[in-house]
Amino acid sequence: MDLYEHQARELFARYGVPVPDTEVADTPRAARRAARRLGGRVVVKAQVKTGGRGRAGGVKTAADPAAAELTTRQILGMDIKGHTVRKVMLARPVSVEAEFYVSYVLDRAAGRFLAIASAEGGMDIEEVAATRPDAVVRIPVDPAEGVTPARAAEIAAAAELPPEAAPVLLRLWEVLTREDALLVEVNPLVRTTEGRILALDGKVTLDDNARFRRTREESEAADPHTDPLEAAATAKGLDYVRLDGEVGIIGNGAGLVMSTLDVVAGCGARPANFLDIGGGASAETMADGLSVILSDPAVKSVLVNVFGGITACDAVADGIVRALERVRLTRPLVVRLDGNAAARGRAILDSHPHPLVHQATTMDSAARRAAHLAATAA
Which residues are annotated as catalytic? 101, 185
Q: What is the rounded CA–CA span in Å between residue 165 and residue 170?
A: 9
Q: What is the rounded CA–CA span in Å between residue 301 and residue 288?
A: 16
State which amino acid sits at residue 47: Q
Phi, psi of 85 (to 5 degrees): -80, 120
